Every structure is written in structure tokens, then in C-alpha cells.
Structure 1
Amino acid sequence: MRIVVQRCKSAKVTVDGQVVGQIAHGLLLLVGITHDDTEKDALYLAEKVSGLRIFEDEEGKLNHSVLDIGGAILSVSQFTLYGDCRKGRRPNFMAAAKSDVASPLYDQFNELLRSKGLTVETGLFGAEMDVELVNWGPVTMILDSPTLA
């Protein structure tokens, strides 16, 4: 699994002009899943995301997690994170898991975050989505599950 984590002041996702997920402050997650990903990868990344200290404390140091600040998560599936652009000009998406594998694992990942007490909004898996955010900082991290790290 691969996740782009963006600290945000606000974020929302719309499908066909309708808001399907929206948060105030917290994290926007762009979540990609590959063929070999399992529940173990989802659990690892749910732990990592929920505890990632990328919010400032009173001294301006990055010491607080999304849990510490009472933030929320907007999780958006994004198979293009596994696009391979090394050859030619058109990305190859062979490393991205098919939806019958990726969708249940994506749902499980979001449920693991919820089980930690986080509010988790989502996009619509497989849909053409418009994603908006106010990136705070900006602070952006890329996380990979251990099988890729």
C-alpha cells in the first residue's frame, strides 16, 4: 500500500457535483493498493497514519498526531499512485490492484482508522472525483507499507 498524506485545514471530495466526503482540519489521504497488499499492510498503515506526528505543538515542533489534535481524515482511493512512468509517455498501471481486491482492503483500512476513534470520510471508490484541499504548511508525506519500504 502507498499513501500520500497531506495535512490540511479543510478538504472535500465531490462526485457529479455532489459532496460525498468533507472534513475541517486533519489529513487528506490518497490511498493506493497493489496486488500483494494484505490486512497486515492496512493495519501497519492505519497505525502509522493515526500516530504520525505532523501537527505542531505549542513550541512549533511537529509533535502531535491527528488523534492528538482531534482532527479528521478524508480518505480517497487512488490507483494512479501505482502508475509506472519509466517507459514511454503513458503510465502503466499494472502494479495497481484490480477493484475486486483493492476495494475491500481500502474499506478495511478506513475501518481500522475508525476503530482508533477517528472520524473518517471517504470518496467514492472507482468514481471520477474532484478533490479539494487547503494544504496546511504545506506538509505532505508519502508512506509505503513494509513490503515496499
Structure 2
Amino acid sequence: MFREKGVVEGESLEIKHSSGGWVSPDVWAHESLYEEVSGHKVMIWHAPREPNDELQLNFVWPEAGTYKVKINKVLTKEGGKFQIYLNEELGEMLDFSSGEVENATEKQKLGTVQLKPGPQQLRLQWAGEKGEGGEMRLDYLKFAKID
């Protein structure tokens, strides 16, 4: 089984709050993606697609420092646009849409954050337009320490 090292797996994230829709940390990726999806599972959220819909997730981080952050996303035809915040930093736009391709993965740089040891909050906010996709599939977050 493919397992990326040094990451926070989507399926290990704790669900703290969802404004609606359907969310689960226990969803298998399509088998065609098993060489690209760490642990073969993802965090999935089908957002209700209303302004300000959000999902709040938590995880525990062990070491203080400044980190470059990347995300591995699973793209689908139903994928939507989401704003991502880590401890209210970053604010990057994520697009989970695959266009005409059924399933694909994409790594995206999110920027740099300062972390302290302990609980961390990840917040995703639906940022699409009416009629656009509302699905988000998060494989993992990768942190590279830079200090």
C-alpha cells in the first residue's frame, strides 16, 4: 500500500463542525488512484453549496516551527472550489474539479505557516458560484520545516 511519509492524512483529521452536507473521513479512493493516494482513503465533504458553508477539522501537531505546506487533492467531475485556512492563516483557493477527467490527483502548494505544538484547526469554506460543484476530497497535508 502506498503511504506518503511525514504527512497528516485526510482520514486522520477530526471533524469539529460542518455547516451541512455530508462529510466522512473514511472513504476509499478510486482504485485507479491507489498509487497516488496515501493509505487509499480520503476525507470527503459534499458541501451544501451555499455561501459561507464551512467544514472545521482538527489535528495535533508535535513540533513548533515554520513550515511550507502542500496538499494532495483528489479531483472529480463534482469537485468544487474551497478556501482553506490553517489556524486562520493561508487563505489559498483550492479547486477540486477535474473537468472531464473522472479521477485524478493534484499536489498544490499552500504557503508557509507558523505552528506551535498541540491542536491545529483546518477550516475549508465553499467558494464556488451557484451551480458549481461542491465536493472536496483531501488526501493529505504535507509539512516541510524551514527553520
TM over 0.5: same fold? no
Q: When you count strand as a share of all residues, which structure comes out higher?
A: 2
Q: When you count helix as a share of all residues, which structure comes out higher?
A: 1
Larger radius of gyration: 1
- TM-score, normalised relative to structure 2: 0.29
- TM-score, normalised relative to structure 1: 0.29
